[in-house]
Amino acid sequence: MNSLATRLSLAFVLVVVLGVASVSILVRREATQGFQSYLESGGMMYAARVAETMGELYRSEGGWQNAQSTLQDQLRGPADRLVLADSSGVVVADSTGALLGRKAEGLEGLSRFPVVVDGKEVGSLYLVSFTPGGVGMGRGRGAMGAGTKEGGGLIGGMAQPRTTTLEAAYLASVDRAILVAALLSAVAATALGLVLSRRITHPLAELSAAAREVASGKLAHRVRVSSTDEVAQVATAFNTMAESLDRNEQARRRMMADIAHELRTPLTVIEGTVDGMLDGVFEFDRGNLESVKEEVALLTKLVADLRTLSLAEAGQLRLEKEAVDPADLARRAVARVEPLAQRKGVVCRLGEVTSGLEIEADPERMGQLLGNLMDNAVRHTAPGGSVALSEVRFGGSLCPSGDEMKRDCVLFTVADTGEGVSAESLPYLFDRFYRADESRSRKSGGSGLGLAIVKQLVEAHGGRVWVESEKGKGSRFMVAIPVVTQPIPAPVPTA
């Protein structure tokens, strides 16, 4: 009784029953009133025709000699009674014979139809017609009978119908038809209500079961969507949410595996070198200690990168923003990577720069992200190639497709002539621990955190980063940072 399907079904049945009952009552009332009006109008036309017939009889015979037999021939059925009085008010014909020869007193309450011959009224015709509601053609008490004894009230014997009339039978059949139609409508509506309630509650039950499955850790579970209504839209949203949770969980597991792998490699080298020195395999000399120190430095950088990335993703990375010259940032980034480029035989140069601009940025973090881009470009460029860093200003109308920034921006571009990236790898370049070439070693390919950090730092500065690349033809990484439109106050020195 507490289920949603049961409550919906009961509510639907109640609405249907009330609706059908209301319609049935109104239809019964209108049918009865309409039928009674029809009977009355039919009786009026019938009585007028009988009066016309009796007038023709009077004209042809010059009197009422055969009025009794002619009047009886005009009866429609046993429920009707016709009374004909002459011009003096004496009854000359009565279909029951009860009032023949008597004064037509007490008939004033009934409908009267004059019998006219050649413009002269020669008599009066009275009609008593029984209907389910009583006497249909009468008016006032006379219609229901002025007395109960024949001869006393003159029409007392006409007050109650002697047989079931055709009209009553017809109305009874109408009542039966309305009742059957109401029952059939109620049954059909109830069945339809059950079907509709199930169509609503069954998907909700599936959705509830799917939510429990996902809550228990089965993130691959999905809800079957078989329609396009609002419930289906909820199911689609649930599937999208479950897919996102599954994807994030897989990314978390990959990240944990990648972190473990990145930490295990230098730790293994350190452990092996130290054990070798303790066992006498390696000598306690400067070379072995420098190897250990190098691995410790790699571990320190990896931990620092992970901390920076986690803080940036959580929105807790603190930026010390100030007015910065983007051209100066570009020069420093090129100078920083120059030693690495020379050792590898790669030409590193500063391209076009714009002077006189300012961006609101943290100079240390901007140097870090530009350094990561330059370092990444040099690592993926073969000896004899080149890497260039340029910086130009462009307006908001020149922003690349998909860029939502409306302010003027400074565009840093790091272009290399290296190996390039395949179209399949481009969407994942800024993911954590992603390497386009899985066979590349950690020392030559990095930890896979550099570009992820670049993306987070750029977004923290209100900018945008994207890449254009083609396998075998080099890459172009572009960073757009908004230009300062108003002077930034100089930082107040702290004591």
What CA–CA distances, in Å, run from 127 to 100, 116, 131, 170? 15, 17, 13, 21
Residue 203: closest CA among 5, 41, 468, 457: 5
At 167 the pLDDT is: 65
Q: Which structure tokens are listed for 2? A: 């507490």
Three-state DSSP string of the chain: CCCHHHHHHHHHHHHHHHHHHHHHHHHHHHHHHHHHHHHHHHHHHHHHHHHHHHHHHHHHHCCCCCHHHHHHHCCCCCCEEEEEEECCCEEEEECCCCCCCCECCCCCCECEEEEEECCEEEEEEEEEEEECCEECCECCHHHHCCCCCCCCCCCHHHCCCCCCCHHHHHHHHHHHHHHHHHHHHHHHHHHHHHHHHHHHHHHHHHHHHHHHHHHCCCCCCCCCCCCCCHHHHHHHHHHHHHHHHHHHHHHHHHHHHHHHHHHHHHHHHHHHHHHHHHCCCCCCCHHHHHHHHHHHHHHHHHHHHHHHHHHHHCCCCCCCCEEECHHHHHHHHHHHHHHHHHHHCCEEEECCCCCCCCEEECHHHHHHHHHHHHHHHHHCCCCCCEEEEEEEEECHHHCCCCCCCCCCEEEEEEEECCCCCCCCCHHHCCCCCCCCCCCCCHHHHCCCCHHHHHHHHHHHCCCEEEEEECCCCCEEEEEEEEECCCCCCCCCCCC
Which range in 162-171, 184-193, 203-212 is most confidently predicted, on average pLDDT?
203-212
Measured N-to-C along each axis, helices 230-278 and 166-215 cross at an angle, to the nearest 10 degrees, of: 10
* Residue 204 structure tokens: 């909700």
- Quote the pLDDT of residue 163: 37
* Most confident listed range (254-258, 293-297, 467-471, 482-486): 467-471
What are 393's two structure tokens?
A: 């200003």
Q: Return the pLDDT at 348.
A: 92
Range picked from 52-61, 172-181, 437-446 for highest mean pLDDT: 52-61
Q: How confident is the model at residue 389 (pLDDT cuts 50, 70, 90)?
A: very high
Integer angstrom CA distances of residue 81 from 50, 96, 136, 339, 470: 12, 7, 12, 130, 109
How high is the pLDDT of residue 385? Answer: 92
Q: In this structure, what token pair is assigned to residue 240?
A: 């999208």
Whole-number pLDDT of residue 370: 92
Per-residue model confidence as pLDDT tens digits over 303-339: 887 788 777 777 777 888 898 899 999 999 999 999 8
Q: Compute the average pLDDT of residues 216-229.
A: 80
On the question of pLDDT at 48 being above 50, the answer is yes
pLDDT of residue 143: 36
pLDDT digits 0-9 by tens, 406-425: 567 888 999 999 888 888 88
Residue 405: which residues within 8 A CB-CB, separation 6 or more? 396, 399, 462, 463, 464, 480, 482
pLDDT for res 145: 38
CB atoms within 10 A of CB 156: 18
Average pLDDT along the chain: 77
The CA distance from 363 to 335, in Å, is 15
Q: Is 472 left (phi over 0), alpha (psi -120 to 50) or beta?
A: left
* Highest-pLDDT range among 284-288, 339-343, 437-441: 339-343
pLDDT number for residue 275:
87
Is the pLDDT assigned to residue 116 strictly greater than 70? yes
Q: Which amino acid type is present at position 428? A: Y
Quote the pLDDT of residue 477. Answer: 93
d(CA 382, CA 372): 18
Please report the pLDDT score of residue 238 as a whole number: 84
**Of the spans 70-74, 101-105, 436-440, which averages the highest pLDDT?**
70-74
Q: pLDDT higher for 487 or 230?
A: 230
Instruction: Give yes or no for a contact between 393 and 352, defined as CB atoms under 8 angstroms apart.
Output: no
What pLDDT score does 296 carry?
A: 85
| Burial (0-12, 13-18, 19+ Cβ within 10 Å), 383 | exposed
Q: Kindly report, residue by residue over 421-461, the tens digit of the pLDDT.
A: 888 888 888 887 776 655 444 444 456 778 888 898 898 88
What is the pLDDT at residue 493? Answer: 45
Residue 486 to residue 360: CA distance in whole angstroms: 10
| Alpha carbon distance 321, 359 (integer Å) | 9
Q: Is the pLDDT of residue 12 over 50?
A: yes
What is the pLDDT averaged over residues 53-73? 88
Q: Is the pLDDT of residue 479 over 80?
A: yes
Distance CA 448, CA 458 (A): 17
Measured CA to CA, the distance from residue 180 to residue 178 in angstroms comes to: 6
Give the residue-averaged pLDDT of 476-488: 75
pLDDT confidence of residue 417: 92
**pLDDT at residue number 158:** 38
Say which residue, 441 or 91, is predicted with more confidence.
Answer: 91
| Residue-level pLDDT at 130 | 45
Return the number of other C-beta atoms located less than 10 Å from residue 405's C-beta.
14
In this structure, the chain runs to a length of: 495
pLDDT at position 255 over 80: no
Return the percentage of the chain with pLDDT > 70, whole number. Answer: 81
**What is the rounded CA–CA span in Å between residue 214 and residue 208?**
10
Q: What does the CA dihedral 336, 416, 432, 458 come to, rounded to 10 degrees? A: 70
Residue 182 has pLDDT above 60, yes or no: yes
Exposure on the CB side of residue 38, measured as CA atoms within 13 A: 9
Question: What's the rounded Cα separation, in Å, for the pair 379 and 225?
Answer: 48
Query: Rounded CA gap, 73 and 235, in Å?
Result: 79
